[in-house]
Amino acid sequence: MDTSIFFEPAGSVETTFPAHTIGEKINVYSQKGGFPDLDNIDIVIIGVNDDRKAIHNKGCADAPDHIRNKLYRLFRGDHPFRVADLGNIQKGATIEDTYFALSSVIGFLAKKKIVTIIIGGSQDLTYANYCAYRDIEQMVNIVAVDSAFDMGEMDSPVSSQTYLSKIILSQPNYLFNFSNIGFQTYFVEQKSIALMEKMFFDSYRLGDVKNDMEEVEPIVRNADMLSFDISAVRHSDAPGNKNASPNGFFGDEACRIARYAGLSDKLTSFGIYEVNPLVDINGQTSFLAAEMIWYFIQGYYSRKKDYPVGDKSAYTKYRVSIKDGKYEIVFYKSDKSGRWWMEVPYPSGKKSKYERHSMIPCSYNDYKTACSEEMPDRWWQAYQKLG
């Protein structure tokens, strides 16, 4: 597949950078440089200049090059750096054309074991990201960092605030789980919260998450793709968004989540959306997005590759019986990283479909919960879906 047909060179990006910076090393598709060779590449960056489905945030289509100019001036970490920037997806005649181009490229890259970073653009591009996995017939876990669920009415046209309903209704459906991190209750209808619970999806309030940021790591570790709406960050830290509000994550917390995403052995695509240079202050929001990408790359090159499949001799195994022996939960703790997983049984006839979802990332707190004769929420929700 010649993916270059979907791209145009990055626009107003500087070409001279100090030694040891990302800009000095990265292979970028620009007016002066040809399309990057993808051999020996681990991560690619893709810009999408399309905000036709943005709600109250027109101008975010201009974000990719602003983010690039901040990112390329950051110094590289002490790790390998096999990263390419493919430029920008050409804006299609219709939004569906843009979705098709983006999903085709991400699917192609996923088959080549290359991780994709998407810088947009509006968050409806999450739907195109999901379609990449649907088209290669892979069950997918989505994590969205957002102050709302972006569900809307089930028959609403796709937009940055309704893309989730489009994903849920998509047929054939390959969505296994959806998790929202950081929702703010006053932005979410009660019926949407009830629907999330009915579908056994996960949602975590902003206040609860901020009280214990370490609990975010197993949520993100279970994701195949992560969609980050920059409006989830409070206005004072990320003013470049017309939907920004006074409350939200701090900038350093956003970077921490990005690093968790990079660390996940399972995750293959990461999108940062809704950055709007038109209302930004001194490029602060583009700078934050650039730093998030820096942390994601650092996390990627710190991956432990210890997802517990096959030989489990490098794990400590714990069995916990609860509900008077009705349920037994098997935990695995990695000797390499100290991270925890729970094993969830699934019907034998669904092995090919659910096998990669039967090992649920968790935390030590989940193990303590089970030892206290209580069912960990993560285990029970996965058990309900697998059954």
- The DSSP result for 223-238, as a single string, is -SEEEEEGGGB-TTT-
Q: What is the pLDDT of residues 44-66, one digit of tens each?
A: 999 999 999 999 999 999 999 99
Domains of the chain: 3-300 (3.40.800.10), 315-386 (no CATH)
Question: Angle of helix 63-71 relative to helix 284-300, nearest 10 degrees?
Answer: 60
CA 66/CA 257 separation, integer angstroms: 22
Q: What is the pLDDT of residues 353-370, one digit of tens each?
A: 566 678 999 999 999 999
Task: Examine the pLDDT at 5 and tell me if it is beyond 70.
Answer: yes
Residue for token pair 């709007």: 276
Q: What is the pLDDT of residues 290-323, one digit of tens each?
A: 999 999 999 999 999 998 887 788 999 999 999 7
> What does the pLDDT read at residue 11?
80
> What does the pLDDT read at residue 284?
98
Average pLDDT over every residue of 253-281: 98
> What does the pLDDT read at residue 386?
78
Helices (H), 264-374: 284-300, 351-354, 364-371
CB 46 within 8 A of CB 268: no
Average pLDDT over every residue of 3-19: 86
> What does the pLDDT read at residue 350?
55
Q: What is the pLDDT of residues 97-117, one digit of tens each?
A: 999 999 999 999 999 999 999
CB 221 within 8 A of CB 263: yes
Task: Examine the pLDDT at 384 and tell me if it is beyond 90.
Answer: no
- How many whole angstroms from its chain centre is CA 203? 15
CB 358 within 8 A of CB 351: no
CA 234/CA 255 separation, integer angstroms: 13
Average pLDDT over every residue of 123-137: 97
Between residues 250 and 356, which one has the greater pLDDT?
250
- pLDDT category at 171 given cuts 50, 70, 90 is very high
* Two structure tokens written together for 237: 């830290």
- How many whole angstroms from its chain centre is CA 214? 17
